[in-house]
Each structure stands twice: as structure tokens, then as C-alpha cells.
Structure 1
């Protein structure tokens, strides 16, 4: 047995991934079966072959879609983080400018009295 501590988060993500793939495979098989019903002239072995290939392609397309979604999510995250940094800099600069102005007004008010 390995003595390293178990990372529960990684384990959960791995389990979720397996469940998602299995659900997608089930969807692919169901869609493949629905698709091949229209081809009444196929033999049972041909139908099974078409269904298998259809299901494999279904899973491949789903994985490609997931990868693109992850990539786009990372891009959006970067864009939003940059926008947040810019807004934070503006807010801090505005706050500092306001404090400088308030201090200057206070100094002028004290010096005029």
C-alpha cells in the first residue's frame, strides 16, 4: 500500500470524470441504437459495428467539446482577472488621489485659519 496521503479533491475529480465518461458512453450507445434503427437492411453484425463506431465517435466529439470548453474557460478567466486587476488599480489610484486631495484641503483649511 502506498504511504502517501490521499488527496480527496483529486479523487473526487477523478471519480466525476469516470462517471461523466460512462454517462456519455451510455448516451452514445443510445444514440447509436436510435441512429441504426433507420437502416433496416443492416445485418445484426453490421448494425453492431455501426453502433460501436457511432458510440466511439460520439465520445470523441464530447471529449473534444469538453477540451474546448476548458480552454475557453481558461481564456475567459485570464481576461476577467486582467480586467479585475485594472479596476483594482483604478480604485486604489482614485482612493489615493481622494486622500491626497482631502489632506490638501485640510492643510489649506488649517493654514488659512
Structure 2
């Protein structure tokens, strides 16, 4: 149950949300670190300019990370749809094959019994 709304919380959902927050914070930290590393190479900048370059670089880096995640998530959904479609088709083919095999076995049994 959550403290705010007293509704039951699914543990998997809660874990996914926590994982998402941790992943987002890791991306922010990575963006800040990349920005600092970039700005260190520009030793002629004043402290104010360096801070502005770091801020802008971190924003761009984080934006690119978000775009990449969205692209990957979209591709994952596409692949999931493709695999589900192929799995359904394969399952239908196996079922039809089993039914044809059973029908053949039943027909063979009838023929053998009728020949006696």
C-alpha cells in the first residue's frame, strides 16, 4: 500500500519505477560527467563560461540519451509485435500438423479395423 493513497501497489510495478528513477539519475550523472570532461579541455574559459558550457553540454547529452532510449523502446515494441505474430503463426502450423497427423492415424486405424 502506498502511504499517500492507501491503494495496494504491485511489487513489479514499484520495482520498475525505482529502476526507472535509478536509470534516469545515472543518465544525469553520466551527462554531467561528460560535460565536465568536455569543459576541462577548454582551459581558456572563465568559470562562468565553463559552467554555461557544462550546463548546455549536459542538456544536449541527456536529450540525446532520451532520444536513444525512446528509439530503443519503440524498436523493442516493434520486435515484440513481430515475434508474437511469428509465434502465433508457428503455433497454428504445429496445431494443424498435429490435427492432420491425428486424422491420418484415425483414418489408418479405421482402414486396418475395416480390413479385419
TM range (shorter): over 0.9
Deviates more, 1:7-16 or 1:19-28: 7-16
* Aligned alpha-carbon RMSD (Å): 1.1
What is the CA distance between 1:93 and its match in structure 2?
0.3
Residue 21 of structure 1: how far off its partner (Å): 1.2
Please report how far the alpha carbon of residue 18 of structure 1 lies from its aligned counterpart in structure 2 after TM superposition. 1.3
The 2-side partners of 1:7 and 1:105 are apart by 54
Q: Which residue of 2 aligns with 1:109?
A: 112
The structural deviation recorded for 1:102 is 0.7
Q: Which has the higher contact order (CA 8 A, sep 6+)?
A: 1
Q: Give the deviation of 1:9 after TM superposition.
A: 2.3
Return 5+ residue gaps in structure 2 as ranges: none
Of 52, 75, 79, which residue of structure 2 is paired with 1:49?
52
CA distance in 2, matches of 1:90, 1:9: 34
Q: In structure 2, what is the equivalent of residue 82 of structure 1?
A: 85
In 1, the alpha carbon distance for the partners of 2:86 and 2:34 equals 42
- 1:22 corresponds in structure 2 to 25
**What residue in structure 2 maps to residue 40 of structure 1?**
43
Q: Secondary structure of the residue that 1:61 maps to in structure 2?
A: helix
Runs of 4+, deviation exceeding 4 Å: none
Output the CA distance in 1 between the equivalents of 2:17 and 2:92: 39
Deviation at 1:51, TM superposition (A): 0.3
- What is the TM-score with the length of structure 2 in the denominator? 0.91
TM-score, scaled relative to structure 1: 0.93
